[in-house]
Structure 1
Amino acid sequence: MDVGIVGLGLIGGSLGLELRSQGYRVLGVSRRPETCERAIAKGIADRTSTTFDILSAAQLVFLCPPLDALRPTVEALIPHLDPEVILTDVGSVKAPIVEAIAPLWPRFVGGHPMAGTAEQGIEAAQSGLFRNAPYVLTPTETTPPDCLATVAEVVRSLGSEIFTCSPHQHDQSVAWISHLPVFVSAALIASCEAEADPAIKALAQQFASSGFRDTSRVGGGNPELGMMMAQYNQQAVLRSLLTYRDTLDTVIDQLQHQNWDALNRQLHNTARDRPPYVAQPVAPSPDSPP
């Protein structure tokens, strides 16, 4: 199968490496000629181009541009596609993307690989990025079953754990475990920067270790990605942030009133409740494709 990839950054480049290792022929598209050259040199693609003509031979195309570029990309891509080609994306928000693209191209399957690093660009591409990681597919009532089956087969070859749910279920779920942490982490960094005493701030920076690195990592990442999460998943992110604020208010009240028993219960509850969110490996959901 010839598989196209539009956008050869971290995700697109990693897809190319993995797909080629599984025997797929990869056709890559990037706006930058130098990125196309690097993709060939790094073994990410068999052929590359700065134009969409190269994708006329593809049976499946992964769309890997930023969220705000997805619809314009599809509009520009359509004249170059065979009518039977399947499109799928890798965006971290699904409902607005599915609603925008499915009317343009019925053979579209929303997708989101739950994998990544703090690095960006083609140089960050790596083999094995998707192995044992969740990969969410978000079909709707109008998604052709053969398209879903084909995308699932290719995704399975990446070593990912396939999950299926509606676009809206996806967006609220990732608001909790992916988007909310970005803004909580960003607020942590901003709060530390609000320290008025330069000596205290300097000491805090010197004392910071693995705990601070872990909790601040996503807040110190790509600002454009955070903005896309906020703009495209606004309501779900707001709902999660407001709930988080209420929880913080409760902790503040416990501290102010020295309600140590309540705070102790809260900390015991969070210690009890964390493991299901971080357990590995991930088990497929009951409604995952066979």
Structure 2
Amino acid sequence: MKKTVFVIGLGLIGGSIALAIKRKYDINIIGFDVNEERVGLAKTLQVIDESANSIEEGAVKANLIVISAPVQQTEKIIEQLATVDLDPSVIITDVGSTKKQIMKKAELLLEKGVTFIGGHPMAGSHKSGVSAARAHLFENAFYILTPSKQTSREKIDELKDWLEGTKANFLILSPDEHDELTGAISHFPHIVAASLVHQVAMIAEENSTVSRLAAGGFRDITRIASSSPIMWRDILLHNKEILLKLLQKWQEEMERVKDMIRRMDGEAIYHYFLEAKQFRDGLPIRQKGAIPAFYDLYVDVLDHPGSISEVTSILAKEEISITNIRIIEIREDIMGVLRLSFRNEDDRKKAQEVLAQHKYETFIEM
């Protein structure tokens, strides 16, 4: 008899996990989502095999339950699952970006003898929805698991086996460790990016020229400010304590920078940027981290009719898929006027090699 996986929430992440499990195991996948159109699309795309009319209906049949929902909604789903007569051997996991509060809520399940292991696959895409789901989305990405102290090694290994098709790198952390680390390298940078955009928006009210200038590098370094407002509202509220500490440290850091500028201390300013450059340049390039990587390739093209279509035609003939294309109006220190974005590093590398064969100069910004 086939085992059953129940996926609650059929977006990019939930759909990709379903596909990753499917490519490893011959199982039955049941899906549930409050959006009925999304459920229908998931069935059409064969992401799921059947749908459930309610969380209870799908949960009672499941050997594995994956909650793929915003963190505040995840808490409510855990409360619902705690009232359901579940299979005693079932494993429940989530995909939330914060863990401490969710693990606390999961005590409702642990008290019933049900295994809950927090999860956070640290990968994403510039596209959203189940139509963008891919089995390979998590390949080489970190997939953090936060089991409770009572969770056996056997159950952790069992969940890893279920998720083996993701081809992710599993990392075991405590909920506190997870929230502190992801707060620093993911949550806090999103706050900074949004704040930078707000600052420029205020300047734009007085001088609209700033919007044209911001179309270049500024727009690129603040890309993550375009993330889901609902998701980031929930994350900030869930990771309140860590983020308040980080914001306090950031204020102290900015005071240090203000002091260097005020004192006209050129040597201190130079070393400030040098140390930042050295640390940043030493970070791994190939690994996926907390913030999804952008696989961009800058192409120097002549300004004449058809130049862009020539580039895209070359790549199309080689069956290299482009996820985004943008003309760079303000080049700053970046060579090239065309920025092509790819799904992964392999596609970008192949595109660079093919374009080089056609005498195009390309550049990858490290």
**Superposed pair shares fold, TM > 0.5:** yes
Q: Residue 195 of structure 1: which of 203, 208, 223 is its match?
A: 203
Task: Tell me if 1:75 matches 2:112.
Answer: no
Q: Residue 144 of structure 1: which of 149, 152, 175 is its match?
A: 152
**Count of equivalent residues:** 281
Q: Deviations over 1:197-243 (max 9, x none)?
A: 64x4x333223355323321222221111111111110111111221
* TM-score, length-scaled by structure 1: 0.90
Unpaired segments ≥5 residues, structure 2: 290-366
Contact map agreement 2:78 2:105 (CA 8 A) in 1: no
Contact map agreement 1:32 1:50 (CA 8 A) in 2: no
Identity %: 28
Equivalence for 1:27: 30
Equivalence for 1:204: 210
Equivalence for 1:287: none
Alpha-carbon offset, residue 247 of structure 1: 1.4
Superposed counterparts of 1:1-290, under 5 Å:
1-23=3-25, 24-52=27-55, 53-78=57-82, 79-105=84-110, 106-195=114-203, 198=206, 200=207, 202-209=208-215, 211-281=217-287
Alpha-carbon offset, residue 50 of structure 1: 3.0
* TM-score, length-scaled by structure 2: 0.72
Equivalence for 2:306: none
Contact map agreement 1:87 1:108 (CA 8 A) in 2: yes
Which protein is bigger by CA-based radius of gyration? 2
TM-aligned CA distance change 1:214 to 1:154, over 3 Å = farther
Q: Report the Cα distance in structure 2 between the residues aligned to 1:14 and 1:210, rounded to whole angstroms.
A: 32
Q: Deviations over 1:56-79 (max 9, x none)?
A: 222111111211122321232341
Q: Deviations over 1:3-28 (max 9, x none)?
A: 21101112111212222222343211
Contact map agreement 2:4 2:64 (CA 8 A) in 1: yes
Q: Report the Cα distance in structure 2 between the residues aligned to 1:114 and 1:81, rounded to whole angstroms.
A: 28
* Alignment-mate amino acid for residue 79 of structure 2: E
Give the structure with the larger helix fraction: 1
Contact map agreement 1:36 1:50 (CA 8 A) in 2: no
Contact map agreement 1:107 1:144 (CA 8 A) in 2: no
Q: Report the Cα distance in structure 2 between the residues aligned to 1:167 and 1:277, rounded to whole angstroms.
A: 24
Find the residue that maps to 1:103 and give its secondary structure.
helix
Alpha-carbon offset, residue 36 of structure 1: 1.2
TM-aligned CA distance change 1:276 to 1:29, over 3 Å = farther
Equivalence for 2:322: none
Structure having greater relative contact order (Cα 8 Å, sep ≥ 6): 1
Cα RMSD (Å) of the superposition?
2.0
Q: Report the Cα distance in structure 2 between the residues aligned to 1:140 and 1:226, rounded to whole angstroms.
A: 25
Alpha-carbon offset, residue 196 of structure 1: 5.7
Unpaired segments ≥5 residues, structure 1: 284-290
TM-aligned CA distance change 1:120 to 1:43, over 3 Å = same
